[in-house]
Amino acid sequence: MKSYQISVLLISIIFLSSCAVVRQGEVGMKRRLGVLHPTIIQPGAVGFNPFVSTIIKMPIRTMNMEISSNLPSKEGLNVAAVISILYRIEPNKAPYIVENIGVGNEQNVISSVFRSTAADVCSRFFAKDMHSAQRANIEKEIATQMNGLLVPRGFEIEAVLLKNIQLPAGLARAVEEKLEAEQDAQRMEFLLDREKREALRKKIEAEGIRDAQKIISEGLNKNIIEWQSIEAFRELSKSPNSKIIITDGKAPLMIDPKE
């Protein structure tokens, strides 16, 4: 009975050691007697002979690699920055990477390509561009140039992100002063625009008053004034109150006898 239990235990150990699980976000490759089989093993359980074969696993999900580097600028300054490189491995290229680069060495290749590419791209931009809207163009150009070198080798660069950019002290202050000057200019432009609108409003209002007075003055001719005087006399004659009216026949002047 004891020997039977030992046999079962040995069989169980051999069985478990001959089975591997490839998880989601990974691919597997079988190496038998030192020779890598080109067939890609998809996620799931896979059996193999542990005495002559091994299963090599490689992640194909998006990976993040951070690099701290001094980026050269067009004017010869060094800009310190932390760079995040988002990359992934092309599943069909996994056997090539294992044979020619090695498992776990991919970051050495990517970082070397990045440093060379970043030096080439950043040297065409001013240091202040890395701290402005030009940064997106720099990131995109670095990623494009890296893909040209790495895609044939099985790596795809999804994005290059420049973070924690530290400009030289003097340049940083100059950039801040420029931004402050631009904000002051925009504020002044707003105030001038507001005053112009107010001046235009007053001009339109004055022109409206002028036109109204012009229409009134053109309509008040001699006959209309005399007719309005007659109407005024008529209304006064209807009043029951006693009053003294002095007139030259053109315009009435009324005096209250109580005063």
What's the confidence (pLDDT) of residue 15?
47
In this structure, the answer to whether residues 67 and 54 fall within a common structural domain is no
In this structure, the answer to whether residues 77 and 162 fall within a common structural domain is yes
In this structure, the answer to whether residues 21 and 116 fall within a common structural domain is no
Domain span at 37:
8-58
d(CA 157, CA 243): 104
d(CA 254, CA 246): 6
Number of domains in the chain: 3
What's the confidence (pLDDT) of residue 84?
93
Count of helix runs (H) and strand runs (E) in the chain: 6, 10
In a domain, 149, yes or no: yes
In a domain, 2, yes or no: no
In this structure, the answer to whether residues 70 and 124 fall within a common structural domain is yes
What's the confidence (pLDDT) of residue 227?
65
What's the confidence (pLDDT) of residue 146?
94
In a domain, 151, yes or no: yes
Domain closes at, from 39, 58, 77: 58
Q: For residues 49 and 124, is the Cβ–Cβ distance under 8 A?
A: no
> Would you say how long the chain is, in residues?
259
In this structure, the answer to whether residues 75 and 156 fall within a common structural domain is yes
In this structure, the answer to whether residues 118 and 159 fall within a common structural domain is yes
pTM, full prediction: 0.58
In a domain, 192, yes or no: no
In this structure, the answer to whether residues 88 and 144 fall within a common structural domain is yes
| Residues contacting residue 157 through CB under 8 Å, at least 6 positions apart | 85, 86, 87, 110, 143, 146, 147, 150
What's the confidence (pLDDT) of residue 52?
75
In a domain, 195, yes or no: no
Q: Tens digit of pLDDT per residue, the chain (259 long)?
A: 456 555 545 455 544 456 777 888 888 888 888 788 888 878 877 776 777 778 888 888 999 999 888 888 887 778 888 999 999 999 888 888 888 888 888 889 999 999 999 989 988 988 878 877 788 899 999 999 999 999 999 999 999 999 888 776 665 565 556 666 667 677 788 888 888 888 888 888 888 887 777 766 666 566 666 666 667 666 666 666 666 565 555 555 544 544 4
Q: How far is CA 111 from CA 71, 80, 86, 235, in A?
A: 14, 16, 12, 103
In this structure, the answer to whether residues 16 and 111 fall within a common structural domain is no
In this structure, the answer to whether residues 122 and 29 fall within a common structural domain is no
Closest CA to 88 of 161, 22, 24, 151: 151
In this structure, the answer to whether residues 12 and 71 fall within a common structural domain is no
What's the confidence (pLDDT) of residue 191?
81
Domain closes at, from 58, 74, 99: 58
What's the confidence (pLDDT) of residue 1?
47
